[in-house]
Homo-oligomer: A and B are copies of this chain.
């Protein structure tokens, strides 16, 4: 990456989050969109700004593959899939083009335990290219991992960490409401949950990220999902990740998203010395936050050690202009 001037970004994947990130990039002087890639043939040849709802054209034509991007670039922002196996070839291509990577792929946020072979390959490819790769988002990437981890910086001892996100799904975009199962019958919910269609991805990755920094050698993790119901109508999802170390539950992550939930809040509870509770009334707004944190990570890759990084082994993220 160049050390001066705006960071030149190729965006790969123009779904809802990708579009939000392109808008975010357009609003910031420190970053510049120089390329846009999407496999959807209906997007190829169109201006990225038009697709993303910008007031003015971005001056960047969408192409189908990274090889077709002609502009010099510093970094690729990859928002194509939650699946690590799906994004791996894209990340490999970015490294071979010498591009640093920011991605919102949830499974990439801490793959060292869940997909160690892919993690090692990505790390090696990034080191060889002398670039950093990082996955981020509001969750995984912030509320349930970076924020609790940093909060323990003032602790002499940590016994357990619990994070709760109680969200009113009605305040989020429609695809999110569908993703959490709002409006389904209980039977439909259970069918979709079994098929993995309404699972929130990332609780396990967040738990491994926390454990790595706490020095906890986890012997077991679980990730369980059930509907949040009003009679037979599903209003949303209640999903809980739990992790055990030395026979004790040391991490519990509660992801609850429900239409019309009163008093939504994010909450980090650390048991230890000293113990404390950190409360965010109303909660962090997920849609805005994921797009913002992806862009906020970009300058961190200028000074990051090459390789596959995580939100807890890179400089602390912050907003920048």
Contacts and interface: CB of A to CB of B under 8 A. Distances in A.
A316 B316 CA distance: 5
A156 B320 contact: no
A279 interface: yes
A146 B142 contact: no
A280 B147 CA distance: 13
A308 interface: no
A285 B150 CA distance: 16
Contact of A154 (B153, B277, B289, B316): B289
A292 interface: yes
Nearest to A283: B276
A149 B312 CA distance: 15
A24 interface: yes
A303 interface: yes
Interface string A267-280: 00000111011111
Interface string A123-160: 00000000000000010001000110111111111100
A276 B282 contact: yes
B276 A278 contact: no
Given A142-B153, A214-B321, A274-B288, 13 more contacts: A27-B156, A142-B154, A150-B317, A153-B316, A154-B293, A156-B295, A157-B321, A273-B292, A274-B289, A276-B280, A276-B284, A277-B280, A277-B282
10 residue pairs, one from A and one from B, having the closest CB atoms: A153-B317, A154-B289, A152-B319, A156-B292, A155-B319, A274-B285, A213-B318, A149-B318, A279-B279, A158-B319
8 contacts: A138-B154, A154-B289, A154-B292, A214-B320, A273-B292, A274-B285, A274-B288, A303-B313
Interface of A: 24, 27, 30, 138, 142, 146-147, 149-158, 213-215, 272-274, 276-282, 284-285, 288-289, 291-293, 295-296, 303, 305, 311-321
